[in-house]
Amino acid sequence: MRWFRNFGLGLGLGAALLATSGAQAQQFVNVLTGGQSGVYYPLGVALSQVYAKSIPNVRATAQVTKASAENLNLLQAGRGELGFTLGDALSDAWKGDADAGFPKKLDKLRGIAGIYSNYIQIVANADSGIKTLADLKGKRVSVGAARSGTELNARAVFKAAGFDYKDLGKVEYLPFGESVELIKNRQLDATLQSAGLGVASIRDLATSVKIIVVPVPAETVAKVGDAAYQPATIPANTYGGQTADVPTAAIPNFLVTHSGVSDELAYQMTKQLYEHLDTLHSAHNAAKAIQRDKAIQGMPVPLHPGAERYYKEVGLLK
């Protein structure tokens, strides 16, 4: 009888150890995104679903954030495994640019992939009389959440155009969705949104009021003085009532992790991204611009060794 009790105790301990080792093997992937009405969020949700299904023992979630700057600071603190960011914010974080919200260099950041480009989309209620960048002076404008990638883009573009926030009638630091609601209610005249083409908030606005998409001329883009900013075009009919092409600036987006993430997990996050692009395409049209052969172009931070391994496997790196 004593032998049987000891045998049963041994079986119980073995099962407990197996359960413990299984729990230890589970990994958490927190994908840091942006506001729910932007592009980062639906893509982050889609990625988290891909990772949960495709990477063994992974539990993945997508977190709503204030986007680029917050994501980078959270990654540095180890409070996320993957984050979306604009290229200029990533470069500022790696250098430690205090004016951009990074008093110290975020030295734990590691690159996963270059994805699609954000387009500077300045949209005004047609009744406001705004048609050019200069017309924004004296008007009520939302520039995105404070210290977000969008807000950093707003500072750069306005400076290149020869004015700053002091020249505006009122400055609001609001996410995309809230900005649009205030324009609908005639409490704002315009919003600057840095996102992939076809952003949901602007599509929504265009169904409610007549809009003007304000051009950012190529000469203004050049005056920004940052290689991350390139001349681009918002094609006609991207939004309701926008019947002509509109020149603007585009800035690349990146997926970033940190040095504390294991090589194997970083490898799988990179691999599964490219093996499930169709899922991302279904989540948002902006994902259709993601191309593996451009994944490491212009990356402002070192690649994570796990991502490096994947790119060597597919021939992008030697």
Give me the tens of pLDDT residue by residue for the chain, a chain 318 residues long: 554 455 454 555 444 444 444 445 789 999 999 988 889 999 999 999 999 999 999 999 999 999 999 999 999 999 999 999 999 999 999 999 998 889 999 999 999 999 999 999 999 999 999 999 999 999 999 999 888 889 999 999 999 999 999 999 999 999 999 999 999 999 999 999 998 899 899 999 999 999 999 999 999 999 999 888 999 999 999 999 999 999 999 999 999 999 999 999 999 999 999 999 999 999 999 999 999 999 999 999 999 999 999 999 999 999
- In the chain, what is the greatest distance between 2 CA atoms, to the nearest angstrom? 92
pLDDT at residue 17, as a whole number: 44
Antiparallel, parallel or unpaired: β 170-172 and 27-32 = unpaired
Under 8 Å between Cβ of 140 and 172? yes
Q: How many CB atoms sit inside 10 A of residue 156's CB?
A: 22
Kindly report the backbone phi and psi dihedral angles of residue 147, in degrees, each rounded to the nearest multiple of 5, phi listed first: 65, 10
What are the structure tokens assigned to 127, written together? Answer: 């009744």
pLDDT at residue 16, as a whole number: 47
pLDDT at residue 154, as a whole number: 96
Antiparallel, parallel or unpaired: β 27-32 and 58-63 = parallel
pLDDT at residue 226, as a whole number: 87
CA distance 316 to 295: 9
CA nearest to 194, candidates 143, 235, 141: 143
CA distance 180 to 11: 61
pLDDT at residue 22, as a whole number: 45
Residue 287: helix, strand or coil by DSSP? helix
CA distance 148 to 69: 5
CA distance 271 to 260: 19
Q: Where do the H-state alpha helices sit in 185-276?
A: 200-208, 218-224, 263-275
Antiparallel, parallel or unpaired: β 109-125 and 211-214 = antiparallel
Under 8 Å between Cβ of 217 and 132? no
Dihedral (CA of 241, 190, 201, 157) sign:
positive
The alpha carbon torsion through 218, 220, 225, 229 (nearest 10 deg) reads: -50
Under 8 Å between Cβ of 29 and 272? no
pLDDT at residue 100, as a whole number: 85
pLDDT at residue 151, as a whole number: 92
pLDDT at residue 227, as a whole number: 84
Domains of the chain (ranges plus CATH)? 26-116+253-313 (3.40.190.10), 118-251 (3.40.190.10)
CA distance 291 to 114: 8
Dihedral (CA of 115, 119, 120, 122) sign:
negative
